[in-house]
Structure 1
């Protein structure tokens, strides 16, 4: 018996989500390991590894922006839905569409600013590690682009959902809507 396309897509999404979580966990563990190693070197051996602080800072930047992608994917980002929760039907659907369009607009500004920032730092290198800062700063436009894609997916799901499914105070779980 073969899988339905929807089940296969869901399985692939879950595998991708697990791989992304492992990637984020490795970044986080690398950051913790570098800080711990540097602390041990300083207090036990009266020395240190100066680039470790810079690498830890770079990993912190990565975990912040890649964590934001994870938050968008799982709908765990900060959202103020008090007004939307009081609405229902067509009104709620329209307000949800407007909210997503405003969010996409803000993310487009963030994407444009991030790309400009990366271009400005193409010739800038970190002091201790000599890493090109454009590589580090590229996480901002990557996060913005990924968030835009996720918001567009949510917008399509809302547009496909009949207004009658938008109920008052129950909240709509966008992950349950058809994509």
Structure 2
């Protein structure tokens, strides 16, 4: 099951890369055609906007799984383990509720706009709004899994938290101090 989930998120990452490439090609191609040949790609602006929206929603799914969203855990880190677990569980429940609202709202928009076509491409606007549904289902499953792991104790108390330190901070913490009051890893000047 874990391999299937990993494959799904790898697929999402590949889609994100393809959507980014598509946006670059559409926008750059349109600009080049306008300035060099006084023409353009009619659907460029519309499709690049659609790709951008999908890229954001899919990227949010990946970031949710990797705990890559911004967060402030200054207070949570100082709580005792039981209170920390309760705080994290409450936050996950709140995020699940918000994800539910986004999913329901997006689904309603898909149903309302399924027969409405975009002006330039002629595609159904339901495809545009379905990005919120994909986000909601994926993120909801990630959050439900995280909530289960939080409540069952599968996550150790020292690893309990909603945010992950950036790679730069982890690198700085891994550098041993040189016995001075300077920032770890900062070279000393000669004569000091």
What is the TM-score of this pair, normalised by structure 1? 0.82
| Residue 62 of structure 1: how far off its partner (Å) | 0.9
Structure 2 residue 126 is the aligned partner of structure 1 residue 134 = yes
Quickly say closer, same or farther: Cα 1:41–1:118, change in 2 above 3 A. same
| Residue 64 of structure 1: how far off its partner (Å) | 1.0
What residue number does 2:92 align with?
100
5+ residue gaps, structure 1? 1-8, 175-179
SS of 1:31's equivalent in the other structure is: helix
Structure 2 residue 31 is the aligned partner of structure 1 residue 39 = yes
| Residue 58 of structure 1, aligned match among 44, 50, 54 | 50
| Residue 10 of structure 2, aligned match among 18, 21, 27 | 18
Structure whose alpha-carbon radius of gyration is higher: 2
RMSD over aligned Cα, in angstroms?
Answer: 2.1
Moved more, 81-90 or 141-150: 81-90
The alignment of Structure 1 onto Structure 2 pairs a total of residues equal to 163
1:41-68 superposed Cα distances (whole Å, 9 cap, x missing partner): 1111111112111111111111011111
What residue number does 2:137 align with?
145
**Using the alignment, how far apart are the partners of 1:143 and 1:93 within structure 2?**
26
| Residue 160 of structure 2, aligned match among 145, 149, 172 | 172
What is the TM-score of this pair, normalised by structure 2? 0.77
What residue number does 1:158 align with?
150
